[in-house]
Amino acid sequence: MNDDLLLTQLVKERAHVLRAVTGISEPAMGRSLVPSGWTMTRMLNHLAFDDELFWISAVLGGETRAIAALHNGWASEPMTGAEAIRMYQHEIAASDEVLARTDLNEPPRWWPPASEFSAPPMSTGREVLFRVLIETSTHAGHLDIVRELSDGHQNLVVE
């Protein structure tokens, strides 16, 4: 598959995530509507820290800033919805810098120790990008559902 198409789709899915949370009230951002208990704010933390920071900046880019900042995004310190949106946007910008200088045919520049992450290393940057694209797309759909449950807003209406 053409790398430009993958990158373009990632941009679209990130925008989808941000559309799902734009204009929603602060209380709604922090309220769980699902049995697992996650909130829109926690989902943004997960996408910022576990996808953008971990997969792109740390694994793909091997950036020391990212590696030093790694933590479980679901367990991030509580923040407001607005702060979570800004954090996600910040990590997207950092990821875009990594992607701009990365040859996706090359292997990732860093892989976590097996004691912390038992999955086998991916062989190319393209595999990492596919992982992030799938994760971002999936969670964009999750956010759509929670948004509709919260205030009735629908991203896609099929009649």
Average of per-residue pLDDT across 52-56 = 98
Determine the residue type at 69. Answer: A
Percent of the chain with pLDDT over 70: 98
Sign of the four-CA dihedral 68, 58, 64, 81: negative
Kindly report whether the global pTM for this prediction surpasses the value 0.75: yes
Residue pointed to by tokens 């990590």: 91
CA–CA distance, 58 with 21 (Å, rounded to integer): 26
Structure tokens, 146: 């929670």
Helix, strand, or coil here: 150?
helix
Determine the residue type at 58. Answer: A
CA–CA distance, 54 with 111 (Å, rounded to integer): 10
Q: What is the pLDDT of residue 61?
A: 97
Q: What is the pLDDT of residue 1?
A: 58
pLDDT higher than 80, residue 96: yes
CA dihedral 9, 79, 67, 72 (to 10 degrees): -90
Determine the residue type at 2. Answer: N
pLDDT higher than 90, residue 124: yes
Mean pLDDT across the chain, nearest whole number? Answer: 95
pLDDT grade for 78, boundaries at 50, 70 and 90: confident
Average of per-residue pLDDT across 5-19 = 97
Residue-range domains of the chain with CATH: 3-151 (1.20.120.450)
CA–CA distance, 150 with 81 (Å, rounded to integer): 14
